[in-house]
Structure 1
Amino acid sequence: MGRLNRIKALMIKEIHAVWRDPKSRIVLIAPLTVQLFIFSFAATLEVKNVALGINNSDGGKHGYELVQRFAGSKTFGRVVFLNSHGQADSAIDEQDVLAVLSIPQDFSRRIEAGEQGKIQILLDGRRSNASQIVMGYISAVINTYSDELRQKAGGKPLPAVVSGRSFYNENLIYMWFNVPSLMGILTMVGTIVLTSLSVAREREQGTFDQLLVSPLMPWEILAGKTVPPMAVGMTQGSVILLFSYFVFGVPFRGSVLMLYAALFVFALSVTGIGLFISSLAKTQQQAILGAFVFMVPAVALSGFAAPFENMPSWLQAVMQINPLKHFLIVLKGVYLKDMSAANVFANALPLVYIAALNLTLAGVLFRRRLE
């Protein structure tokens, strides 16, 4: 009971140290709320409100009809009408538009004559990903119009029509992918920043040496500094879960119990990384820098922004130590497809190893300070 009381006292001290500091309270509450809304609506790979340039040299009805279809599309928020190829080149060069649709003078005449009408599309290659997506949008509009003309002329329909269907997110709503991922990212950011500052703050204030000469054993210090950040991480994850379901309308098809079990192990692994960073840092500034040195590649290489399978094989092997990579699989699986308990366990097991490794390393560093 004496050991439990000592650990409990240290946990209460850690909570008071954070909650009594106005700056720490702001760090825990304000960034989570602001980032959740900003990233949910703005951090998206969808291409919307595209500026499209149109150089229509055709005076016929087909050129006019095609222009109206692009002007009425929700994808293209602004249509810029151009009068020459020189203006088209200038519009792309100055990034006024992402793409330019050039309709030649004989477009309607060739279609009426039963020939193939040619359209030129200029894209801004500096934004390659967005340009490829916009090219697909433009091609879809043109192909739909061509198919309608073929049917009106009594032509044969296309020999094969591809019908696509997306499992678990049939309408490809990007927020359904984005918001669950933010639970992992924002929980990691808040937990690791808070944890990495823990020991460094004690050293700057001169209270860490008092802990070392106290009756507390190294593992008791480790336990006392592990539980409060984990509680903060679990709370932040719960807030995001509630916002995702009741505010953003993201469906939740899996087990809440399994999600919280995975969230607990994830918070433990991130806390271990934060304590390891904090045990190495001598000042809070070093701790913050160390936290961000870890978090930036952890987020970028987790599979959130780009497919994990696209990375080189050696980098995929290295990123197995990235807890966010494993937790994102669990999040999207539990949220959208009702992932089985066996799959949740398989993807959460590496988090246990990561937590054990980092907590052990942090404990070794604490023990060295006692020697």
Structure 2
Amino acid sequence: MWARLVALIAKEFLAVWKDRRSRAVIIGPPLIQLLIFGYAATFDVNHVATAIYDEDGGLAARDLIARFEGSPSFEIVARLTREAEIRQVIDPKRAILVIHVGQTFSRDLLARRPARVQLIVDGRESNTALIILGYASRIVADFNSDWLKAHGEIAPPAHLVVRSWFNPNLESRWFIVPGIVALLTLVVTMVVTALTVAREREVGTFEQLLVTPFRPFEILIGKAVPALVIGLAEGTVIIAVGVFWFGVPLRGDLPLLYAGLFLYILAVIGIGLMISSVCRTQQQAILGAFLFVVPAVILSGFATPIANMPPLIQDLTLVNPMRYFLIIVRGTFLEGLSAGLVLERLWPMAVIAAVSLSGAAWLFRHRLQ
């Protein structure tokens, strides 16, 4: 039996390597997607196109505006001279933010009266607008603090000091790149596994496989092992790129991370084999893989927190292996997740893997009969 399995596994590796479409899916796109996601997928907002409408022109107004000019988060693209010009820069998106300093800004500050600054932000992209307002509010708060110290006024009774654990500089890349390990491993493993039986049915070699001495479970193992090796290799490459190229710290234990990666890939392989068992063409298999991958990514917490989803949708995420591995990979990278917390996420993936592989074996036997 072991000799037959080794021969079948070698045959599967050769089939994947000789198939141009499978080879292209494994090698090129994952690395390209990793670089694109790593650089382009970010929650940080830099070089915000900003317009200045300064009606005051005083020393305090110039000091406040200079702080925006010196910030890497803002880029001054226009200086307005009348209120009507605000619409002319916001509507065509020439500027996302307009800073309007009123005529009496410096005078009110010197008279120890509240002075107002108006921030006009393009709200068509609400998430970006909230981030921009947070950046701008922080600059204004620093201006207020420095003004109080310089003019001998009583400082506010409470001084807020913010400290971010695990990601002190709040770099969104540290959050995105570990998630890409789960995302690209899912995509590659799912596509390779979903195509394995469908490809043989389409080219006519599946019937030849059925007349060999291989039993159904041996065929199943022979098709699962190459996908497991490919998935582990892909995950390893992505982890290495994340650490050595993007500089994301890896604070946890690699054995725990690979234990999670192993069970995660097994669960994905089981689902991929189930899809492949019911598909007769590669086009159907690709569509089936797509129908699983997109909801799995959305329901994993990759981009939006699961806690913000409706209760029924949160229950659906419990059968999604990516949900558990995402916690493991991000926790291992950024916080050094303990073995106990990792084990809490390992056993659900083990259950999903057992159920999906059992379902794939049943479908496989059923299709062979």
TM-score (norm 1): 0.96
CA shift digits 1:291-331 (9 cap, x unpaired): 11111121122111111111111111101111111001111
Of the structure 1 ranges 229-238 and 359-368, higher mean CA displacement relative to structure 2 is found in: 359-368
Corresponding residue to 2:169 among 168, 171, 183:
171
| Aligned mates of 1:124, 1:261 — CA distance in 2 | 46
Contact residue 262 and residue 327 of structure 1 kept, 8 A: yes
Aligned residue in 1 for 2:36: 38
Give, in angstroms, the shift of residue 212 of structure 1.
Answer: 2.6
Name the count of aligned residue pairs: 369
CA deviation vs aligned residue, 1:31-55 (integer Å, no higher than 9, x gap)? 1111111111110111112111221
Whichever residue aligns with residue 138 of structure 1, its letter is: A
Select the residue among 69, 89, 92 that pairs with 1:91: 89
User: Which residue number in structure 2 is paired with residue 157 of structure 1?
Assistant: 155
The offset of 1:85, in angstroms, is: 2.4
Q: Distance in 1 between matches of 2:179 and 2:291?
A: 20
Identify the residue that residue 202 of structure 2 maps to in structure 1: 204
SS of 2:85's equivalent in the other structure is helix
Tell me the amino acid that sits aligned with residue 146 of structure 2: E
Matched, 1:242 2:226: no
Q: Corresponding residue for 1:123? A: 121
- Matched to 2:195, the amino acid is L
2:249 maps to which of 251, 262, 276: 251
Partner-residue secondary structure (3-state), 1:168: coil
CA distance in 1, matches of 2:62, 2:76: 17
* Letter of the 2:224 counterpart: T
Deviation at 1:78, TM superposition (A): 4.2
Asked if 2 retains the 8 angstrom alpha-carbon contact of 1:71 and 1:79, the reply is no
| Inter-partner Cα distance in structure 1 for 2:196 and 2:216 | 15
Q: Does 1:314 align with 2:312?
A: yes
- C-alpha contact 1:212 1:369 (8 A) present in aligned 2: no
2:143: which partner in 1?
A: 145
What amino acid sits opposite 2:53 in the alignment? N
Which residue identity lines up with residue 359 of structure 2 in the other structure?
L
The Cα of 1:26 is off from its aligned counterpart by 2.3
CA distance in structure 1 between the aligned counterparts of 2:282 and 2:80, rounded to whole angstroms: 56
- Tell me if structure 2 keeps the 8 A contact 1:191–1:229: yes
Q: Which residue of 2 aligns with 1:76?
A: 74
* Identity percentage of aligned residues: 45
Within a 5 Å distance, the mapping from 1:200-349 to structure 2 comes to 200-349=198-347
Mapped partners of 1:78, 1:296: distance in 2: 39
For residues 107-160 of structure 1, what are the alpha-carbon distances to aligned partners after superposition, in whole Å with 9 as ceiling and x for unaligned? 122222221111111122211111111101111111111221112221111100
Which residue of 12, 15, 26 maps to 1:14? 12
Tell me the amino acid that sits aligned with residue 158 of structure 1: P
- Describe the SS at the equivalent of 1:126: coil
- In the alignment, residue 137 of structure 2 is paired with which amino acid? S
Deviation readout 1:180-203 (Å, 9 max, x if unpaired) = 111111111111011111111111
8 A contact 2:52–2:76 mirrored in 1: no
Instruction: Report the Cα distance in structure 2 between the residues aligned to 1:83 and 1:213, rounded to whole angstroms.
Output: 84
Distance 1:304 1:78, change over 3 A: farther
Supply the AA of the counterpart residue of 2:54. Answer: N
Mapped contact 1:110–1:116 kept (Cα < 8 A): yes
Whether the 8 Å contact between 2:187 and 2:293 is mirrored in structure 1 is yes
What residue ranges of structure 1 are gaps of 5+ in the alignment? none
Give distance in 2, aligned partners of 1:321 and 1:209: 34
